Amino acid sequence: HGGSAPVWSAPPISVDVGDRADRTVYFAIMVESARVDVHLYSHRASRSTKVFTKSIADKQIYIGKWTADEDVRRVEFKFDRVSKGGAGFVHYTIGLERVASSVSATE
């Protein structure tokens, strides 16, 4: 999944890991004119768990990866705007392939 969205309406991004042998989700997230908390949730058949929250400041890029446990079916990224005012955008590349090279800084 790649794209850009206004921070105030950025949709949650889901990645199905299903029965894949490689259960690693790669992500690159950049924030423009805003501060955003990114929450990562893992969804199992029986419950959802918040894995971590990362705060991203204006013009920061957060690149990383996270490997799901075997019973995790889906992971979901949710975006929360922290700073008030201003539109602000979040640009993201999230998926099962390595993505670091596909997001470039605009500084």
pLDDT (tens digit per residue) in 46-103: 899 999 999 998 899 999 999 999 999 999 999 998 876 667 899 999 998 876 444 4
CB–CB of 76/68 below 8 Å? Answer: no
pLDDT tens digit string along 7-48? 888 899 999 998 788 899 999 999 998 889 999 999 998 899
What local confidence, expressed as pLDDT, does residue 85 receive? 63
3-state helix, strand, coil in the chain (%, to 5): 5, 55, 40
What local confidence, expressed as pLDDT, does residue 8 receive? 83
What local confidence, expressed as pLDDT, does residue 105 receive? 41
pTM for this model (two decimals): 0.84
